[in-house]
């Protein structure tokens, strides 16, 4: 396969061993719609890229990583969540384990009107978290790493991850959808634990915002 500007870019990224540097908010690559993946990369190069993204996501650590977050304007993301949280949090947030998945050219639609509001963060906005009201259920359409069509409903926390990562590919950061008065530092243990309870109800009261979740 002939080299292209995109494949050269990927080869350059993969020339270094280990986790890739993560691009932070303020870089225009996070604000531009990414281009569909449509045969620009050989199967081998794509497989190497996916593996590097998996390693980077684990090392961060995070539960999802979109290609623009490593500087690639490509509609590709990986997700995986071991859901290592207390049972009470798991039950309230629907944070069930999400096995590793590759999302190529994903898009989603909300299923039903219900939205749920919880704290979330982003590897490209380090040190902060904020409350985002999102669809509790979404229908995801994408391709997997073998090029097979995916048309699948996600619910609970996996639905949140799918929305967050797909938004990245459209140049949208979670802060665009967040309740800004909920913005909280996660830089030390005390601030991280302040809003670690299952729901952000107390945060809404103490920080002065309205929870946007609805039935």
- Provide, rounded to whole angstroms, the least separation between the CB of residue 25 and Ni ion: 9
- Judged by beta carbon, residue 122 or residue 142, the one nearer Ni ion is 122
- Judged by beta carbon, residue 116 or residue 122, the one nearer Ni ion is 122
Q: Choose the stretch contacting Ni ion; rule: CB under 5 A; options: 79-87, 102-110, 120-128, 202-210.
A: 120-128
* 3-state DSSP assignment of residue 21: coil
Residues ≥6 apart with Cβ < 8 Å to 101: 78, 79, 80, 144
- Provide, rounded to whole angstroms, the least separation between the CB of residue 3 and Ni ion: 30
- Judged by beta carbon, residue 3 or residue 187, the one nearer Ni ion is 187
Q: Choose the stretch contacting Ni ion; rule: CB under 5 A; options: 10-18, 114-122, 134-142, 200-208.
A: 114-122
Which residue of the chain is nearest Ni ion when measured via CB? 122
- Provide, rounded to whole angstroms, the least separation between the CB of residue 164 and Ni ion: 6
Residue among 117, 122, 142, 169 that touches Ni ion (CB under 5 A): 122
- Judged by beta carbon, residue 29 or residue 45, the one nearer Ni ion is 29
162 binds Ni ion, rule: CB under 5 A: no
- Output the CA torsion sign for 24, 115, 197, 88: negative
Active site residues: 165
Bridge-based pairing of strands 137-143 and 64-66 is unpaired
Question: Rounded to an integer, what distance in angstroms lies between the CA atom of residue 192 and that of residue 1?
Answer: 48
Residues ≥6 apart with Cβ < 8 Å to 108: 135, 138, 139, 140, 141, 154, 162, 163, 166
- Provide, rounded to whole angstroms, the least separation between the CB of residue 47 and Ni ion: 23
- How buried is 26 (Cβ within 10 angstroms: 0-12 exposed, 13-18 middle, 19+ buried)? exposed
C-beta separation of 79 from 91 below 8 A = no
Bridge-based pairing of strands 64-66 and 76-81 is antiparallel
Q: Choose the stretch contacting Ni ion; rule: CB under 5 A; options: 22-30, 38-46, 121-129, 196-204.
A: 121-129
Number of shown-chain residues binding Ni ion (CB under 5 A) = 1
* 3-state DSSP assignment of residue 49: helix
Token pair 């794509």 in the structure block, residue: 46
- Judged by beta carbon, residue 22 or residue 143, the one nearer Ni ion is 22
- Provide, rounded to whole angstroms, the least separation between the CB of residue 121 and Ni ion: 8
Binding site for Ni ion (CB under 5 A): 122
């Amino acid at each position: 396969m002939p080299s292209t500007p995109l494949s050269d870019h990927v080869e350059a990224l993969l020339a270094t061993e280990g986790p890739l540097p993560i691009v932070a908010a303020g870089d225009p690559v996070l604000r531009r719609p990414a281009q569909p993946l449509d045969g620009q990369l050989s199967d081998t190069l794509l497989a190497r890229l996916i593996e590097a993204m998996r390693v980077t996501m684990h090392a961060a650590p995070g539960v999802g990583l979109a290609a623009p977050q490593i500087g690639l304007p490509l509609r590709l993301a990986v997700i995986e969540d071991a859901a290592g949280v207390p049972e009470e949090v798991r039950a309230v947030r629907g944070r069930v384990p999400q096995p590793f998945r590759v999302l190529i050219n994903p898009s989603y639609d909300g299923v039903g009107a219900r939205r749920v509001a919880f704290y979330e963060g982003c590897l490209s906005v380090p040190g902060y978290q904020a409350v985002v009201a999102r669809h509790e259920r979404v229908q995801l359409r994408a391709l997997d790493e073998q090029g097979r069509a995916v048309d699948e409903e996600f619910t609970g926390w996996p639905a949140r991850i799918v929305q967050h990562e797909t938004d990245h590919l459209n140049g949208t950061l979670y802060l665009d959808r967040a309740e800004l008065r909920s913005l909280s530092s996660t830089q030390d243990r005390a601030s991280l634990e302040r809003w670690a309870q299952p729901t952000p109800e107390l945060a809404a009261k103490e920080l002065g915002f309205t929870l946007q979740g609805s039935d």
